[in-house]
Structures are given as structure tokens and as C-alpha cells.
Amino acid sequence: MSLHSVGVRADVLEGLAAELHARIPMTKFLGVHFVEFEPGRIVLAAPLGPSLNHRGTAFGPGVFTAAGLAPWLLLVRAAWAERLAVQILLRRCEFAIHRPITCDYRARCDVLPALEADTLRQGGKVRLTATSQVFIDEGAPAATYTAHFTLLAGAGEGDLALPFPEGWRT
């Protein structure tokens, strides 16, 4: 799918990737880049090469990183769009590889629960769960990652300081 068909300019995604790589250097090493980044959907891609293990498949921690970034980044964008000053904490997660990953892969998160913005604006905390899947083809997911987050109100820009376009605000 082309970047124009999903409404995000390539230079915006490249700028976000550059900032992500600066803030989380492992993402640069792994070659993680944005394919899609819409309000309710994100697709990240990564080449097999940097994650290659001795068996010719993707090393689990590299896949884990891309899979974990997908829901976190979607949540960061949603909080930023709502002008919520929050800190996003990963309480726990589950990760499973269902089949060998033998080529470049994509991590996708399509669903993000509501942020309970009013609770956060009143200084509360919110817990939510989001799942991403890793694909190597059009078949079943090759891996699944489920994150259980806690959002704490009043934490300044913190996690939200990525260079999102002002037009993404609600």
C-alpha cells in the first residue's frame, strides 16, 4: 500500500522514524520504519537482516521490539492528539512467535481502546490493553504481542515529544 493511499506524506513518516531512531537507537539498528500511521492503525516494517539468528530466522528480541513499538506508538499518537500530558508505562506483556520468521516482517496494530481522556485530564490513571501482530505474508500472524499499559496523568510531554504534525491534533 502506498503512503499516499493512507493519507500520510512520506516526509512525515521519515521524520518520525528519524526521531524514533534518535530516541530509541535499537530501532535504527533493527531498521524499523513506518509503513502506515493513521489514528487507529499503525504498520511498522523491519528487514530480517539485523535480527537474523544462527538458524536463518528472526531473533525473537528483534521481532519483540517491532511488535512492542506498534501499540505504544499508536497510543503515543492518540494521547498527543487529545493533548493529554501522560506517561505511558508498560505494566506487562505477552509475546509469542507462532511460526519461523524467515524474511522481512511487519508489525501491525489495528485497535486501540478508548483513552478515557476525562479521567486523565482530572489527574487519574488509566489501564488499557492493546495487541499487535507480526506478519511475513498475507497468512496468519507469525507472532503476537499483547501489552498492558498504565497511563499516568500530568507527566508533561514525556513520551509524547515526537514530531507529530499539528494537523493530527483533535
CA 162, distance to chain mean position in Å, is 13
160-164 average pLDDT score: 73
d(CA 105, CA 2): 17
- The Cα diameter of the chain in Å comes to 51
Task: Taking the CA atoms of 170, 158, 92 and 49 in sequence, report the sign of the dihedral they define.
Answer: positive
User: Rounded mean pLDDT of the chain?
Assistant: 90
- Whole-prediction pTM value? 0.90
